Amino acid sequence: MRGLFTWAIIIAVVAFVAGFWGFAENVREPAQEPERADAIVALTGGSLERLSTGVRLLEERKGERLLISGVNRVVTDEELLDAALNVDPAIADRIDLGRSAEDTLGNAAETAAWARERNYTRLILVTDDYHMPRSHAELSLALPEAQIVPYPVRTRWTDPALWRSDLAAASRIGAEYVKYLVIRGREAVLSLGKSDEEESAADPA
């Protein structure tokens, strides 16, 4: 019995390491130039480049509006749009600042409410490359009726030369991978629940 338990642990560790390696390699993929969508959403946190990329896509008319989700409540519109991002006044009225989100789950809820209010069904999602899988999964769960187009911003953390040699970088990506697995697990549980409900509805007896 102890031998089976040991083998189970070994298999689990190997599966985790292999999954982490694939995750770290895949998030390094360069962003593909997106086709025009209804709107753009950029998530705060990480580098300011997330937000400046969202503004650039708005300037390029990749969407009619931009939501910056998760803005700190103490930061004013002027401090963010004028001082930090130097936004052209001509497009400032097409940028919405969301201040209710405090984490990725909150970003998804805030974005879903914003999109439904405006009947948006195709969104370009902008966030850091290693954060994209989790953000995309959360938003897809919160807004299943919409098409979410990922537009990852490349970071130094996903450089193989860095995370393969630096424990801090590997830990950052590893933590993100674990959070992503949790979301996928929750998604699987929710799917099972929906399947059970559908079977019950189909067989009222």
| pLDDT computed for residue 199 by the predictor | 54
pLDDT score of 76? 93
Is 43:135 a contact under the CB 8 Å cutoff? Answer: yes
Nearest to 141 by CA among 89, 193, 99: 193
Q: pTM (2 decimals)?
A: 0.89
- ∠ CA 174-138-80, nearest 5°, is 90
**Rounded Cα gap, residues 70 and 45, in angstroms:** 8
Interior CA angle at 191 toward 126 and 136, to 5°? 5
- Please list the residues that pair with 40 across neighbouring strands: 66, 124
Task: State the pLDDT at residue 204.
Answer: 55
pLDDT of residue 4: 77
26-156: CATH, from 3.40.50.620, 3.40.50.1820, 3.40.30.10, 3.90.1170.50? 3.40.50.620
The residue ranges of the chain whose pLDDT is under 70 are 1, 193-205
Give the separation between CA 97 and CA 119, rounded to whole angstroms: 18
- For residue 19, give both structure tokens: 């999954």
Task: Determine the Cα–Cα distance for residues 54 and 60; give it in Å rounded to an integer.
Answer: 10
pLDDT score at 155: 95
Counting beta carbons within 10 angstroms of the beta carbon of residue 35, is it exposed (0 to 12), middle (13 to 18) or buried (19 or more)? exposed
Q: Which residues pair with 150 in a beta bridge?
A: 125
Any idea where the domains of the chain sit in the sequence?
A: 26-156
d(CA 57, CA 37): 10
- Mean pLDDT (the chain) is 91
pLDDT given at position 195: 55
Output the pLDDT for position 59.
96
Q: How far is CA 179 from the centre of its chain?
A: 11
